[in-house]
Structure 1
Amino acid sequence: MITSVLPTSRDKTVHADTTTPAEESITAWALAARGGDREAVERFVRALHRDVRHYVTYLGADPQAADDLAQETFLRALGSLHRFEGRSSARTWLLSIARRAVIDSFRHAAARPRLAGTDDWQCAAERVQPRGLPGFDDGVALAELLAELPEDRREAFVLTQLVGLPYAEAAHLSDCPIGTVRSRVARARTSLVAALRDAERSGLVGAAA
């Protein structure tokens, strides 16, 4: 069932507003990396690379460019580490850089001549997950459905339910009250569950026919 791709509420809300030791370690690595510790740099990048890639992919960027955007995010971050003071978690700080990288990519794409009239997501959603991995079909389905959500709800859902950011930090990153983030996530979840159920019913009807 493709509904299994949606995380349950309890999966993400148990520790939704707490800072885990892992978060503290990642922030400590970022601070150490600022001082030139190469091992800390490697640990920092490895710890957050998956989250950054998920974020730039599901935020609406071209999945084909997700690796490039993730690399650009880390290049910007490593070049700005001297300004990181640990006032927020390193994850939140890094995702704010990823957010700007995505926005810049949209602006760059908008400035280029459009070579085709096709919907980017219609073509790209099929490539959102590496082929041959478990859950590929589910990943495609979720990517397609996320693309239909309003941008603010999609970002709130991705940050808290897929990346696993605490609601308070997602609110800080999105520059809105924590209650707004909770509301956006709840509405996104309702829309996604309804759409997934519709897709399942359509599949059953098609199979019966």
Structure 2
Amino acid sequence: MKESIFHRLYDTYHQDVFQFLIYLVKNRSVAEDLSHEVYVRVLKSYDRFEGKSSEKTWLFAIAKNVAIDYFRKSSVRSSRTFDAFDWETNQLVSPTKSPDALVELNDDMQELLLALEKCTGDQKMVIVMRYFQELSIAETAEILNWTEGKVKTTQHRAIKHLRELLTNDTVKEAKSHESK
């Protein structure tokens, strides 16, 4: 019984969960490892799944927690200090510069993903969930355990920040071309 549920969840959502993780960590092998960890947690905790949320949002909540754990661990490793990782205000800068998948993207998309690195963890998470994974505001709120209002506010601030970053980069780029 439990095994067939697991296989159904895996078959239905594996690609979405993997994409979500690769957008966050920007490294295919790390995303694969984290994806594996998501399903280990799913197996361990499915008995406690109460059906208060959809399986999809429950799975993404687990994936979000796995990603947060990864960033906390790599933050501790790189700084050699045990300061608390503040998810809301810290930027999620992936240890590797660019995933294999990034190379295949067009310039605008690459620019957007690089700008996303300069957003806070909360902003990056909301943008990835809403626009890359196409989750609704309600689903995003459920996964993050937030109100829909907080999702909307974070999304609004993220878009504003991204717009400023992308506009400034475009202006700088245009000026550097003029001076050549």
1:35-59 CA distances to partner (integer Å, 9 max, x unpaired)? 432xx64443233223322333344
Q: Structure 2 residue aligned with 1:142, among 83, 90, 112?
A: 112
Unaligned runs of 5+ in 1: 1-33
Q: CA deviation at 1:172?
A: 2.2
Q: CA deviation at 1:188?
A: 0.8
Moved over 3 A (4+): 40-43, 110-115, 120-123, 136-140
Paired with 2:71 and 2:26, the residues of 1 have a C-alpha distance of 9
The match for 2:22 is 57
Deviates more, 1:104-113 or 1:138-147: 104-113
1:101-148 CA distances to partner (integer Å, 9 max, x unpaired)? 122223433454669xxxx948623236253x2x25444322221111
Letter in 2 for 1:140: Q
What TM-score do the two structures reach when normalised by structure 2?
0.75
For these two proteins, the number of residue pairs brought into alignment is 167
Q: Structure 2 residue aligned with 1:172, among 142, 147, 153?
A: 142
Q: Residue 95 and residue 203 in structure 1: after superposition, are their counterparts in 2 closer, same or farther (change >3 A)?
A: same
Letter in 2 for 1:124: T
Q: Percent identity?
A: 27
Q: Structure 2 residue aligned with 1:88, among 43, 53, 78?
A: 53
Asked if 2 retains the 8 angstrom alpha-carbon contact of 1:160 and 1:167, the reply is yes
- For the aligned residue pairs, the C-alpha RMSD in angstroms reads 2.8
What TM-score do the two structures reach when normalised by structure 1?
0.66
Paired with 2:75 and 2:95, the residues of 1 have a C-alpha distance of 18
Unaligned runs of 5+ in 2: 81-91
Higher relative contact order (CA 8 A, sep 6+): 1
Asked if 2 retains the 8 angstrom alpha-carbon contact of 1:129 and 1:140, the reply is no
Paired with 1:96 and 1:164, the residues of 2 have a C-alpha distance of 15
Q: Structure 2 residue aligned with 1:126, among 74, 78, 98?
A: 98
1:5-42 CA distances to partner (integer Å, 9 max, x unpaired)? xxxxxxxxxxxxxxxxxxxxxxxxxxxxx5432xx644
Paired with 2:102 and 2:27, the residues of 1 have a C-alpha distance of 10
